[in-house]
Chain A
Amino acid sequence: MPTVRLCFSPAPAHVRTARLVGVAVARRSGLADELLDEVRLAIGEACSRAVALHRRHHLRDMIEIVIAADERFTVTVTDRAPIDAVLGARLPDPAELPDPMALLDGAQQRHGATEAAEEDVVVGMGFALLAGLVDDLSVRPAAVGAGTDVCMSWPISARRP
């Protein structure tokens, strides 16, 4: 199974690098062209989420992304943020998309500040995008150590390089 493993420090600038690597591997793996934009956006959202979690918890640990291509094209993004009860309870159900108007009104009532409202939109919309883009998506405790794995996969077409 061809595998690419990439680790990066939790800096926003590296998220673009992860997207570029992910799309390059996807293209080489024979993923259909029409799926490449989705892969690019999904990897970006998963990595942005991981960077945000590390920064919120003041963690310098590396974020890991593992890309594999076999029957399906699979991407796993692992953060090292602690899964406490609060965070666990806040893991959203990908099947439930937030209502954007309720999100805006709720954020405004809670914070009264535009920047905080933006943050709520980002958190809610990030998962809405992942759920809307990726048919096969799961968020679960990391296989090894602290943190969570965001696992995504897409079908590989018959055409292979």
Chain B
Amino acid sequence: MELSLSTRTVDDRTVLEVGGEIDVYTAPQLREQLIAVVEGGARYVIVDLSRVDFLDSTGLGVLVGGLKRLRSVGGEFVLVCAHERLLKIFRITGLDRVFTLYDSVDAAAAGSGDGNLG
């Protein structure tokens, strides 16, 4: 399965739903979509990784790029990720300390707590 991308709005939050595999081949599509979302004016972006089967370092790089782009315009960039398979990747790389992680879109949209699944 390759990459699928779709966006929707929850309250004033932009939710980017990602499915399939984020790797060296598909990551450029995700980068382009994130740039388009930010250039379209979104300032609170939730990237929902719930349907992602595979994520590698190229995908992590694109997510870090998204975080930096949102921060540079005073926005917020959070992730939804509940699968242990992906959470392990964030832990190994230490990026669980960089990203705000939620276990559901509802929790992310509410901005409840401090994120990071807590």
Contact = CB atoms under 8 A, between A and B. Distances in A.
B61 A122 contact: yes
B60 A132 contact: no
A12 interface: yes
B64 A117 contact: yes
Interface residues of A, number: 33
The residue in B92, B93, B95, B98 that gathers the most chain A C-beta atoms within 10 A of its C-beta is B93
B94 A99 contact: yes
Contact of B23 (A37, A48, A99, A132): A48
Contacts of B85: 37
A12 B57 CA distance: 13
A100 interface: yes
Contacts of A101: 94, 97-98
B24 interface: yes
Given A44-B54, A100-B97, A118-B61, A128 B92 contact: yes
Contacts of B57: 45, 48, 121-122, 125-126, 128-129
Given A15-B23, A15-B25, A104 B58 contact: no
Contacts, number: 87
Interface residues of B, number: 25
A115 interface: yes
Contacts of B62: 118
Contact of A44 (B31, B56, B65, B94): B56
Given A44-B54, A45-B57, A125-B60, A118 B65 contact: yes
Contacts of B24: 12, 15, 44, 48, 51-52
Interface string A40-72: 110011001001100000000000000000000
A125 B61 contact: yes
Interface of A: 12-13, 15-16, 19, 37, 40-41, 44-45, 48, 51-52, 97-101, 104, 108, 114-115, 117-119, 121-122, 125-126, 128-129, 132-133
Given A97-B94, A101-B94, A129-B93, 8 more contacts: A19-B54, A40-B54, A48-B58, A51-B24, A99-B94, A126-B56, A128-B57, A129-B57
